[in-house]
Amino acid sequence: MKKVIVTGATGFIGKFLVRELVKQNIETIVVVRKDTKNLNNITSLPVRIVPCNIENLHILPQLVLDRDIDTVFHIAWQGVSDADALSQAVQMQNLQSTLDLIDAMQEMGIETFIGAGSIHEAEALIEMAEDKVITNLGYMYKASKTAAHWMAKAKAGSYGIRFFWPLINTYGEEERSSRLVSTIIYKIFKGISPDLSLGNQYYDFVHVMDVAKALCLIADKGVDGRNYVIGSGNAKPLKEFLITVGEITNRLNGNTRVPLGFGKITNHVVFLPKETFDVTPLKRDTEFEPAISFEEGIERTARWIMQNLLH
């Protein structure tokens, strides 16, 4: 890679990715919302900033006149959690914008597309195949991610664009959304026992800094169209991960004993086979190895939450 575009550059994964690209001396053009309040995350970096809302990605060829860009990292996605994750309109726009971006890449002569998939896609495929009623509107997010993955892969292939949509389940410092790990840490600091499932389902987590490195490796060394999973390579029952989260957070909170509420959630629990988290193709093709252990990553995340979100 020599010159890239990153959408969603001020978001959780996006800002770590931009830092990694700059560290590797890759010329980086960042596409951000016109009204974003998070520019302080990237203004100190040697990047070119292009304001463009997600619904306007189709005009990117007019906003960026460069025709020597080799890769697009499409990280922008509105409604990963909270109310927008349940919104049909928001998620349909995400889907359309992804397809518009593929068209823009074809016009600009960009050869490689890297998206950010979610392990929720794998969960959705299993649950939707069951003979039962679905009432969880969180499937607006899950289904749109899946549709964007499949439709963009077909469109990119028809244009001869290298396509990657690795499945990711990340965590780390500087995350402000209400996803699982951050929510558990925050509640323990507040003295609230978080409601959880029994935690018997297989899971894996990978620190956001390692995700950024893996995305760059995939862009450079990935085999076109291969369905990579970015993970630690140490999938195990979710409960084992969360016990570690509880122990570290309670210790940092002055050795409190806030319990984890295992078994209080009984619905929307999906059991994925362990092979869902197989990182063998990623390691074989790119030689990726995570540098940050789960214990170190949780301590870093908890300390950041303690310093930034508790006041």
Q: Any idea what the CATH number is for the domain that residue 261 is in?
A: 3.90.25.10
pLDDT in the model for residue 100: 98
Residue 288 backbone phi and psi in degrees, to 5: -65, 135
pLDDT in the model for residue 119: 92
**Block means of pLDDT (10 residues each) for the chain, length 311 residues?**
96 96 98 84 90 96 98 95 91 97 98 96 92 89 96 98 97 91 97 97 97 98 97 97 98 98 91 96 98 98 95 72
Residue 215 domain flag: no
| Same-domain pairing of 157 and 248 | no
What range does the domain containing 263 cover? 174-204+233-311
How many domains is the chain built from? 2
pLDDT in the model for residue 143: 94
| Same-domain pairing of 132 and 41 | yes
pLDDT in the model for residue 39: 81
Residue 76 domain flag: yes
Global pTM? 0.96
| Same-domain pairing of 183 and 115 | no
Residue 29 backbone phi and psi in degrees, to 5: -110, 120
Q: Give the number of other CB atoms < 10 A from CB of residue 288.
A: 23
